[in-house]
Amino acid sequence: MSDNNGKVVTEVVAKAKRRTFTADYKKQILKEVDACKADPGAIGAVLRREGLYSSHLTTWRRERELRGLDGLTAKRRGPNPSPVDERDGKIAELEKQLSKWKARAERAEILCDVQKKVSSLLGIPLASNDETP
């Protein structure tokens, strides 16, 4: 495409977005289509007026038959969330405490090693565990 000056102009087209329909809208359309059973041309007129396909009706009817009117509501996409187990919180808390106590034990061991090295450098004999009251 070019403008009046002969320059080429690119046209940016909006990205297509999937249409979503509310449960109320689906119920309304199905009710209206079910009322048109006597006149087959009326169903096509409703579909053209609303910009729908016959596959929409097929899918919506199947959902309505399987799950009733609740089947017409939108479903969340993706994997089903796993149920929360009460023990998971307790396990996480205990693991946190364990890591805290491990860190304290490592610091205590390092401190003991430093004390031993300092006493050997200064020539101060350390009392053994048997000698302490």
> 86-100 pLDDT, tens per residue?
898 899 999 999 999
Residue 56 lies in a domain: yes
Q: Is residue 32 part of a domain?
A: yes
Q: What would the pLDDT profile of 68-78 be if each residue is shown by its tens digit?
A: 777 777 777 78
70 close to 78: Cβ distance less than 8 angstroms:
no
Burial 1-38 (b: 16+ CB within 10 A, else e): eeeeeeeeeeeeeeeeeeeeeeeeebeebbeebeeeee
Residue 133 has pLDDT above 60, yes or no: no
Give a yes or no: residue 64 inside a domain.
yes
- Taking a C-beta distance cutoff of 8 angstroms, is the pair 67, 33 a contact? no
Q: Is residue 7 part of a domain?
A: no
Put residue 104 in one of left, alpha, beta given phi > 0 → left and psi -120 to 50 → alpha. alpha
* pLDDT at residue number 132: 46
Does residue 120 carry a pLDDT above 70?
Answer: yes
Residue 104 resides in a domain: no
Q: Which domain holds residue 35?
A: 23-72
Number of structural domains in the chain: 1
Over residues 103-128, mean pLDDT: 89
Sign of torsion over alpha carbons 94, 96, 102, 107: negative
pLDDT per residue as tens digits for the range 26-60: 889 999 988 887 787 888 899 999 999 989 999 98
pTM of the model: 0.47
Residue owning tokens 């053209």: 48
Q: Are 29 and 50 in contact (CB under 8 A)?
A: yes
